[in-house]
Amino acid sequence: MPQLVFMGTSDSRGVPRFYCDCAVCEEARSTGQNRRTRSSLLIQEDAGSTSQNVLIDIGPDFQTQALREDLRKVDGLLITHAHNDHVLGLGDLLDFMYYGSNDLPMYASEEVIPMVKARFAYVKLQDWLKPVTSELMLAGYQVSAFKVPHGANGFSYAYRFEKPDFCWVYCPDSINIPEETEQTHMMNLDLLILGTSYWHESYEMKYRSVYDVQEALALPSVQSAKQVIFTHMSHDIDARRVLNGETRLPEKVRLASDGLRVWVS
């Protein structure tokens, strides 16, 4: 049975932010309940004598995350978009491929591939980043990508994973998803992993790029999903308030944390 490992669960700046002395960042420095590295997810499938480790995104904290989880082998990578917090760890995997002669398939949407390759123009490997196709199977799932708005930051892609008896979506960076997209790809899921950078964000919409918790809770896709996990969280979200019952979420909704493991079908 596969499990999902939350390698990182923060927004683009991490928690604590190195320059910030707010209550959440100070707590993250000390007891660490709010300590978060940049968002990434690991799919681990253990099928008897074989195992497969597939990453979604690989940010600047990958080395720290891999050491924390004792991750020594990666068998595949999916990239949602080309922003720093989702690709800056790529150099580690490219070295793993180049110097170790390891076969490591990496995938992104056709639209994202040239953006990522431009960031890593020094790479000598041929065709190292491949497009997601309708035939893609990873860790036992049929994988598909769909485009979502990323507000002031442009666009991203989310990933949908399907088996006959289980379907889940990873969508860390999005806001104002069109109704048609939500209805087509995100309804009635067994599990929805959604990015929510703030508990309640007061900035004008034109400056924003990711849902806040209040907006997310109102989404039809969240309301129809059997389980929901929020990730990509900034220092505006204090996990202690949920853990101690001061703030409540619906029973099926929870906040991710670095190292969280979730069994899926």
Condensed to tens digits (0 to 9), the pLDDT of residues 78-110 reads: 999 999 999 999 999 988 887 876 789 999 999
Kindly tell me the sign of the dihedral angle through the C-alpha atoms of 115, 116, 122, 124: negative
Buried b / exposed e along 223-258 (16+ C-beta atoms within 10 A): eebebbbbbbbbbbbbbeebeeeeeeeeeebbbbbb
Tokens 């409540």 label which residue? 248
- Kindly report the CATH number that applies to the domain delimited by 3-263: 3.60.15.10
Percentage of the chain beyond pLDDT 90 is 86
Query: Contacts by 120-125 with C-beta closer than 8 Å and gap 24+?
Result: 120/90, 120/91, 120/94, 123/94, 123/98, 124/98, 125/94, 125/97, 125/98
How high is the pLDDT of residue 46?
80
Condensed to tens digits (0 to 9), the pLDDT of residues 182-206 reads: 999 999 999 999 999 999 998 899 9
Residue type, 10: S
Environment class of 164 (CB within 10 Å of its CB; exposed 0-12, middle 13-18, buried 19+): exposed
Domain spans of the chain, in order of start? 3-263
Taking the model in full, what pTM does it have? Answer: 0.96
Q: How confident is the prediction for the chain on average, in pLDDT? A: 95
